[in-house]
Amino acid sequence: MEQQIIAAIIVSATAFFSVFVITPFLIKALEKRNSTVKDYHRKGGAMIARPGGPSLIAGIIISGIVLYSFFPMMEIIAILITTSLAFFVGLVDDKKIMSGWFKPIALAATAIPILVLGVYDSDLSFPLFGEVKIPLLYIAVVVIMISITGNTINSIDVLNGVASGFMVIAATALTISLIILQKYEIAVLSLSLVFVSLAFYKYHKFPSKIFPGDSGALTLGAMYGAIAIVGQVEVIAAVALGPAIINSFLFLSSMKRIVEHREIKAKPITLTEDFMLKATSDKDASVTLVRLILAGGKPLSEKEVGFVIFRLTIFSGVLSIITALMMGISL
Amino acid sequence: MIGSSIFIFIFAMWILIIIGGGIAVLILAPISITDYGEFNLIISSGIKAVISIAMVISWIFILSKVKNWIFRTTLKI
């Protein structure tokens, strides 16, 4: 246990400080190369550096190597390869506008290392009722899981600081759940995801200095999904992602198809004169979590909407921890 | 409180996940095919896959109904 605690402290510190130190250099390099996008929600429409994925993947790989030096496990290698592949999928989407189907399919392919290295257990655990053995079907679960977690985090990356702040909360809940279920080595890797996201949040929070882009959001989401599979906490991980899953669910049920946000002309939210966010009444616009938060109420600032999303994520996180505790109870 | 109905929706989703898990364990887990030799695993997995897909579709349908019920006023946007 002592070794796990030492590893947790060193890995967390490595994850946090690598992203904390690398990101300012990345911001400067991106600004120098004019790799910036307009922040439409900001007064004056500031130009913000994008993508922040390279600093996130650097932090994940550095801290992952440190963890591997403590525990040379194939599970760590599989998670790092899957996460790196997801980063490259995102990077392609950052550089070139791809169709709505590109990301789900390409992300599904990033699950291959987990399958090839065989670092999964085909038993799917549920709270109160126990496990169900689904040897062949579980392969589909692995493939779908990475695609879903990657895309849901990407879809919630709509406001300053939301994707990284959301991941800090969700991954913290996942880490606590893994500790409850005594999967300590994977919990340490999950902790590195918490600290990588936390360091990035410092630059991503309102007013953002950098946006994660697809490469950043897919990296965080895919790593989260890979940890869930390898740590055998798929259901718990899905519960912790509640607000992001609702966002994707609302979006898909209103659009009735898989489509990129940029392809939709009708806007779900609009800006007031004093730069507050307000839900539109456009029937053709997608229904999203942000639109739902703003609907029927007074306009809110971007920061206020972000904090509502964080409160919802904390609620989901608590439910996921309760789910982990319920795993030990059998009816 | 802002977004209070969304908290209810998240809670409803959680309850549905737990119930769905129970059904999966009680219905899917006991399925076992024994009379087809080397195809036993493939056939039983196929049956489990069909039931799982049906469950997911039902889950989405129920969640849509719950969504319409909870957000019946706010979704008139």
pLDDT digits (tens, 9 = 90+) for A197-253: 999 999 999 999 999 999 999 999 999 999 999 999 999 999 999 999 988 888 887
CA dist B60 and A156 (Å) reads 20
CA dist A115 and A142 (Å) reads 8
CB contact under 8 A, B45 and A296: no
Which helix (H) or strand (E) covers residue A131, if one does? strand A130-133
Residue A263, chain B, CB below 8 Å: the answer is no
Residues of B with CB below 8 A from A315's CB? 7, 10
Which helix (H) or strand (E) covers residue A307, if one does? helix A302-326
pLDDT digits (tens, 9 = 90+) for A30-63: 999 999 998 888 877 789 999 999 999 999 999 9
Q: Say whether pLDDT at B31 is over 60.
A: yes
C-alpha separations of A237 from A67, A158, A232, A322 in Å: 22, 21, 9, 12
Q: Say whether pLDDT at B2 is over 60.
A: no
Residues of A with CB below 8 A from B75's CB? 287, 292, 295
Cβ burial A32-61 (10 Å sphere, 16+ → b, else e): eeebbeebebbeeeeebbbbbbbbbbbbbe
Q: Say whether pLDDT at B77 is over 70.
A: no
Residue with tokens 């879809």, as numbered in its chain = A155
Question: Closest partner residue to B26 among A124, A129, A311, by Cβ?
Answer: A129
CA dist A225 and A33 (Å) reads 32
What global pTM score does this model have? 0.91
What is the predicted ipTM?
Answer: 0.87
Phi and psi torsions of A136, nearest 5°: -80, -40
Which helix (H) or strand (E) covers residue A36, if one does? strand A36-38
Query: DSSP code of A157?
Result: T
Q: Is the dihedral of CA A303, A306, A312, A316 positive or negative?
A: negative
Token couple for A227: 């940890």
Place B30 in a pLDDT band, splitting at 50, 70 and 90: confident
Residue with tokens 């697809």, as numbered in its chain = A214
